[in-house]
A and B are shown apart, each in its own frame.
Chain A
Amino acid sequence: MASMQLTDEELFSELKRFGFTPGPVTENTRPVYLKKLKKLREEQQQRGSRSGKTRSSGAINSTTGGGNTAGSRPASHDVTHLSSNRRPGRKSSVLGFSSDESDAETPLKRKGLNHSGRADRSPGFPQQPKIRPVTTPTAASKSQYGAGSALNSSSSSLGPDGQRGVSLGWGVRARSSPEAEGRDYDESGDEDDYEGGTEKNSRSLNGCGASHLITSKLAGDYSDSDEEEVGGLGAGDRQRDRLEPRRSPKAAFPSLGVGRGSQTGGAAREVNPPGSLNMVGSRREDGEEEKVKRRDSDSSGGLRSHNFPRKSIYVSLAENHGREAGKNNHVDSEDGSSRSSSSNRFSIGLRPRFSNYSSLSQPYRGNHSNHTAPNHSYSQAALKQKLSVPEDELLQQFKREEVASSGSFSAHYLSMFLLTAACLFFLLLGLMYLRMMGSGSSEPSVVCKNHPLGSKFDDYYKGKPERELILDLLSKLHDHLAHIAGQHDCGDQKYPNRSLSMEKASAYLVAQNQTFEDFIFICLEWVIRADKDVGIRLIGQVADEPVTDPSEILWLESTHPMMPFTCRFRRAFLIVISRVFLITVVVGCVGSVFCYVKYRWRREEEETRQMYDMVERIIDVLRSHSEACQENQDLQPYLPIPHVRDSLVQPQDRKKMKKVWDRAVSFLSANESRIRTETQRIGGADFLVWRWIQPSLSCDKTSLMPSKVWQGKAFPLDRRNSPPNSLTPCLKIRNMFDPVMEVGENWDLAIHEAILEKCSDNDGIVHIAVDKNSREGCVYVKCLSAEHSGKAFKALHGSWFDGKLVTVKYLRLDRYHQRFPQAQGCSTPLKASSLHLNTTSTMDTMPYLQRHGSANSSGFS
């Protein structure tokens, strides 16, 4: 992503755009915030794509429900809430219908509200017709309505403030109405609305009329059929609502203010013939105008209103209400407008019905124009449009899905069908083949035409009638023999012998045809002389010897056994099965051998790795022990091997690791030169011990430890943590040393060196002073000019030195000169005395540094 090139500020602002206030973006937090930004962008894309769908389906929502969810969102949700809620909400799509993640979000928040809303719905509705006339007086007592009195509140909420807008008797609405309590404005609007008495006009229309319609609609299930009960109006409404949302997204009207909205609303109403689109259209406009004012809330409201399934269009509209109410920062107008917009939406949907129902709209026009509430209702209408669009889309989606599912269903069957057809085809093929094989051609004429006795036979017997006889005989003999052989092969007990004796053959042939008797021998002679395979084998006294004379023949056997079909099939099947079995066995053997080999190899690798690991640990233990021995002369410089093992290997693993341990021991004795294996007597018992024989590396170690070296930057320097331009040529560097810890006479020189080396590219440092007594470890530096000091600042500030974080400040020049008068005269740039960089990441070999190193090695863990 391009986020890679984002600077910290850009990252910060990008994250803010999503409503997420990040902490400071530093080196450490940058990757985390980049990931977060990516996530937020993906979420936004998802949400954007889904909101398109939900918007269309929202149309359906708005047609019927409007304002259902009014009170559902009393809490104010700012964008932060939105984004923060999205995260958990995204994963839980509570309601089956809505695919919008914002929809999924809202159920989390509105769960309680929804439940109450729904719960209120049913009790609310039967009361609706009764309560409606009572709404006016109840307007004042709206606050009293709790969840139970959803209806009352909803009806009263029809008031101009629009919070009531769609009074669907939802408990949610009840909540919204308490919100509106505080506004006299709203209350007056309500009461005004109810003066008219009928629900037709915008707000009251929205409220009462809507509630009326809703009641009737909700009499049945909250489904399309309800709307059908009301007549084609429902469909008309839905269409209208669909139109509305389409227009609303395009809305970019300047918010003309409440008055205008009301006027247009009123005008719309006047022009409104029953069930005409004009009112709807004008409403739409008004709604859009209003909507522009609170576009954000609307959009989010619209999105969130998609929570509910088609049936709860009412709820969604009410949600819209509530959401808008919640979202808006401005108490009165915004909330009222949002609610009124949703109610307006509802009213738009219901208006045609209302007009059908009554013609009392006229008296209300005047009332409505007075109220600013109409504007709210219009805005609500706009919101409702938005709702209806997503609802529409949602429904369409479902229809499409059903079709698709049926299509896939048939596709599934189709594939199955094809598969079975193919199987059947092959089966038939096999059967046919077998049958062909099994059944020899039994037509004598065919035999006569294509007989295997050779051309000589033809020549000899050309024209003679014996020819047919002989051939016939031959074929009969052949068939008989084949039959016998087949039966025998199939295991038929009738024919224990595959071959037929001569006598039996003759007897059979004679039985077939008396005339055959004479020709048997002739035929057999010809068979002997045949150059092609006749299918009959003639066996004489001695097997395997070709028979030359018919008189020698003792046995006749067929070489083409003819087996019944089932037998053939069975044999074929068995052969196939056995072959397949054999192959699988072979493959299995090979596979298992292979797997075993791999397994062994892997085991081997694992053990080797463990062995090396163990070796390393042993070496570490021995080395540390030897060092400890150096410091503490009481310890023996060797360690018994079993003791090492027991200290390294847990008791429960000892048995398992025995092999590894043994290998490690042998490896050490063979390959490790620093460890010597010897026998020692410890406590009276002879032990095999290891002795670490490398001379102590303590000085190396301490020199390896970072001492007085620069260790990198803790944070990148940017505008936020460093002054934009260098202010003075003097710097005060803090935390470069700890005076208590410093040992030696010339450690301050080391500090000098360190600073000079760090700023080796900057040859403008003229004076360095180490304040040996400062607890903070201060070093004062003067440079040639502010520019040089700026460079030095950048190089030094925020770096780690010797385990301490160095900070730099600018000092006033005069103060500096006060403190270090000798610096006034300095003007020659200092240079690091040793040219090879001592303090930057190399081992120090200077003796004084070693001392410091050992003293300071503890500084850096």
Chain B
Amino acid sequence: MSSTSQKHKEFVAEPMGEKPVMALAGIGEVLGKRLAEKGFDKAYVVLGQFLVLKKDEELFRDWLKDTCGANAKQQGDCYGCLKEWCDAFL
């Protein structure tokens, strides 16, 4: 998507540190809660999963859908956010 949300911009602007998982673009309260229940309480844990899946878009999106039930837009937002973060900081 050409346009990125405010959340995305904020997230990608700096190292994520201890930001909660809800700071990720595409992850709101509900999804954040579901992810936290599964143990992904911090954004870096989701980043870990993203890296374990070798930054593959399809796999990450599938995983996200299975884990917290994100829809396509949310998946895309989250993936884009993490990818850009990785490009910038990793």
Q: How far is the CB of A813 from chain B (nearest CB, A)?
A: 34
Q: How far is the CA of A24 from the CA of B52 in the complex (A)?
A: 6
Q: How far is the CA of A21 from the CA of B53 in the complex (A)?
A: 10
Q: How far is the CA of A93 from the CA of B49 in the complex (A)?
A: 34
Q: How far is the CB of B23 from chain A (nearest CB, A)?
A: 12
> Are A32 and B63 interface neighbours, CB within 8 A?
yes
Question: Which of A24, A35, A87, A860 lies in contact with B62, CB distance below 8 A?
Answer: A35
Q: Which residue of A lies closest to B42 (CB)?
A: A861
Question: Which of B41, B54, B63 lies in contact with A28, CB distance below 8 A?
Answer: B63
Q: Does B36 contact A (CB under 8 A)?
A: yes
Residues of chain A contacted by B52 (CB below 8 angstroms): 23-24, 26, 28-29
Q: How far is the CA of A567 from the CA of B66 in the complex (A)?
A: 71
Q: Does B20 contact A (CB under 8 A)?
A: yes
Q: How far is the CA of A21 from the CA of B39 in the complex (A)?
A: 27
> Are A31 and B59 interface neighbours, CB within 8 A?
no
> Are B49 and A861 interface neighbours, CB within 8 A?
no
Question: Which of B36, B41, B66 lies in contact with A31, CB distance below 8 A?
Answer: B66
> Are B49 and A29 interface neighbours, CB within 8 A?
yes
Residues of chain B contacted by A712 (CB below 8 angstroms): 39
Residues of chain B contacted by A23 (CB below 8 angstroms): 52-54, 56, 59
> Are B39 and A32 interface neighbours, CB within 8 A?
no
Residue interface bits A1-31, CB-to-B below 8 A is 1, else 0? 0000000000000000000011110101101
8 Å CB interface, B39-82 against A: 39, 41-42, 49, 52-54, 56, 58-59, 62-63, 66-67
Q: How far is the CB of A634 from chain B (nearest CB, A)?
A: 28
Question: Which of B20, B56, B67 lies in contact with A861, CB distance below 8 A?
Answer: B20
Q: How far is the CB of A111 from chain B (nearest CB, A)?
A: 23
Q: How far is the CA of A55 from the CA of B11 in the complex (A)?
A: 52
Residue interface bits B6-49, CB-to-A below 8 A is 1, else 0? 00000000000000100000000000000010010110000001
Q: Does A682 contact B (CB under 8 A)?
A: no
Q: Which residue of B lies closest to A861 (CB)?
A: B41
Q: Which residue of A lies closest to B63 (CB)?
A: A32
Residues of chain A contacted by B58 (CB below 8 angstroms): 36, 87
Residues of chain B contacted by A421 (CB below 8 angstroms): none
Q: How far is the CA of A715 from the CA of B49 in the complex (A)?
A: 12
> Are B41 and A29 interface neighbours, CB within 8 A?
no
Question: Which of B36, B39, B59 lies in contact with A36, CB distance below 8 A?
Answer: B59
> Are B63 and A29 interface neighbours, CB within 8 A?
yes
Interface residue total, chain B, C-beta cutoff 8 A: 16
Q: Which residue of A lies closest to B53 (CB)?
A: A23
Q: How far is the CA of A861 from the CA of B36 in the complex (A)?
A: 8
Q: How far is the CA of A227 from the CA of B53 in the complex (A)?
A: 53
Interface residue total, chain A, C-beta cutoff 8 A: 18
Q: How far is the CA of A24 from the CA of B49 in the complex (A)?
A: 10
Residues of chain B contacted by A31 (CB below 8 angstroms): 63, 66
Name, among A31, A32, A36, A87, the residue most crowded by chain B CB atoms within 10 Å (CB to CB).
A32
Residues of chain B contacted by A36 (CB below 8 angstroms): 58-59, 62
8 Å CB interface, A265-317 against B: none
> Are B53 and A32 interface neighbours, CB within 8 A?
yes
Q: Does A219 contact B (CB under 8 A)?
A: no
Q: How far is the CB of A28 from chain B (nearest CB, A)?
A: 6
> Are A29 and B20 interface neighbours, CB within 8 A?
no
Where chain B touches its partner, the secondary structure class is helix
Residues of chain A contacted by B20 (CB below 8 angstroms): 861
Q: How far is the CB of A24 from chain B (nearest CB, A)?
A: 6
> Are B36 and A29 interface neighbours, CB within 8 A?
no
Q: How far is the CA of A32 from the CA of B53 in the complex (A)?
A: 9
Residues of chain B contacted by A714 (CB below 8 angstroms): 39
> Are B66 and A32 interface neighbours, CB within 8 A?
yes
Q: Which residue of A lies closest to B48 (CB)?
A: A28
Q: Which residue of A lies closest to B20 (CB)?
A: A861
Residues of chain B contacted by A29 (CB below 8 angstroms): 49, 52-53, 59, 63
Residues of chain A contacted by B49 (CB below 8 angstroms): 28-29
Q: How far is the CB of A822 from chain B (nearest CB, A)?
A: 38
Q: How far is the CA of A35 from the CA of B63 in the complex (A)?
A: 10
Q: How far is the CB of A39 from chain B (nearest CB, A)?
A: 9
Residues of chain B contacted by A35 (CB below 8 angstroms): 62
Q: How far is the CA of A380 from the CA of B67 in the complex (A)?
A: 50
Q: How far is the CB of A237 from chain B (nearest CB, A)?
A: 44
Q: Which residue of B lies closest to A800 (CB)?
A: B39
Q: How far is the CA of A712 from the CA of B20 in the complex (A)?
A: 21
Residue interface bits A30-44, CB-to-B below 8 A is 1, else 0? 011101100000000
Q: Which residue of B lies closest to A714 (CB)?
A: B39
Q: How far is the CA of A712 from the CA of B36 in the complex (A)?
A: 14
Q: Which residue of A lies closest to B59 (CB)?
A: A32
Name, among B20, B36, B42, B54, the residue most crowded by chain A CB atoms within 10 Å (CB to CB).
B54
Question: Which of B36, B41, B42, B62 lies in contact with A32, CB distance below 8 A?
Answer: B62
Q: Which residue of B lies closest to A25 (CB)?
A: B52
Q: How far is the CB of B89 from chain A (nearest CB, A)?
A: 20
Residues of chain A contacted by B66 (CB below 8 angstroms): 31-32
Q: How far is the CB of A688 from chain B (nearest CB, A)?
A: 29
Q: Which residue of A lies closest to B36 (CB)?
A: A861
Residue interface bits A357-383, CB-to-B below 8 A is 1, else 0? 000000000000000000000000000
Residues of chain B contacted by A21 (CB below 8 angstroms): 54
Residues of chain B contacted by A24 (CB below 8 angstroms): 52
Q: Which residue of A lies closest to B40 (CB)?
A: A28
Residues of chain A contacted by B41 (CB below 8 angstroms): 860-861
Q: How far is the CA of A714 from the CA of B48 in the complex (A)?
A: 13
Q: How far is the CB of B34 from chain A (nearest CB, A)?
A: 14
Q: Which residue of B lies closest to A860 (CB)?
A: B41
Q: How far is the CB of A149 from chain B (nearest CB, A)?
A: 41
Q: How far is the CB of A792 from chain B (nearest CB, A)?
A: 23
Name, among A21, A29, A33, A36, the residue most crowded by chain B CB atoms within 10 Å (CB to CB).
A29
8 Å CB interface, A428-473 against B: none
Q: How far is the CB of B30 from chain A (nearest CB, A)?
A: 13
Q: How far is the CA of A36 from the CA of B61 in the complex (A)?
A: 12
Q: Which residue of B lies closest to A24 (CB)?
A: B52
Q: How far is the CA of A703 from the CA of B66 in the complex (A)?
A: 32
Q: How far is the CB of A718 from chain B (nearest CB, A)?
A: 15
Q: Which residue of A lies closest to B60 (CB)?
A: A32
Q: How far is the CA of A31 from the CA of B49 in the complex (A)?
A: 13
Q: How far is the CB of B8 from chain A (nearest CB, A)?
A: 22
Residues of chain B contacted by A87 (CB below 8 angstroms): 58
Q: How far is the CA of A50 from the CA of B80 in the complex (A)?
A: 36
Q: How far is the CB of B43 from chain A (nearest CB, A)?
A: 12
Q: How far is the CA of A714 from the CA of B63 in the complex (A)?
A: 17
Q: How far is the CA of A36 from the CA of B56 in the complex (A)?
A: 12
Residues of chain A contacted by B62 (CB below 8 angstroms): 32, 35-36
Q: How far is the CA of A36 from the CA of B57 in the complex (A)?
A: 12
Q: Which residue of A lies closest to B56 (CB)?
A: A23
Q: How far is the CA of A712 from the CA of B38 in the complex (A)?
A: 11
Residues of chain B contacted by A33 (CB below 8 angstroms): 59
Q: How far is the CA of A1 from the CA of B56 in the complex (A)?
A: 24
Q: How far is the CB of A38 from chain B (nearest CB, A)?
A: 11
Q: Which residue of A lies closest to B54 (CB)?
A: A23
Residues of chain A contacted by B42 (CB below 8 angstroms): 861
Q: How far is the CA of A800 from the CA of B40 in the complex (A)?
A: 13
Q: How far is the CB of A161 from chain B (nearest CB, A)?
A: 38
Name, among B36, B56, B67, the residue most crowded by chain A CB atoms within 10 Å (CB to CB).
B56
Q: Which residue of A lies closest to B55 (CB)?
A: A23
Q: How far is the CA of A33 from the CA of B54 in the complex (A)?
A: 12
Q: How far is the CA of A21 from the CA of B52 in the complex (A)?
A: 12
Apart from A29-B49, A32-B63: 17 A-B pairs, beta carbons within 8 A? A21-B54, A23-B54, A23-B59, A26-B52, A28-B67, A29-B52, A29-B59, A29-B63, A31-B63, A31-B66, A32-B59, A32-B62, A33-B59, A87-B58, A714-B39, A800-B39, A861-B36
The contact sample of 8 A-B pairs, CB cut-off 8 A, is: A22-B54, A23-B59, A24-B52, A29-B52, A35-B62, A87-B58, A861-B41, A861-B42
Chain B residues in the interface with A (C-beta under 8 A): 20, 36, 39, 41-42, 49, 52-54, 56, 58-59, 62-63, 66-67
Chain A residues in the interface with B (C-beta under 8 A): 21-24, 26, 28-29, 31-33, 35-36, 87, 712, 714, 800, 860-861
The list of the 6 closest CB pairs from A to B, nearest first, reads A23-B54, A32-B63, A32-B62, A861-B41, A32-B59, A23-B53
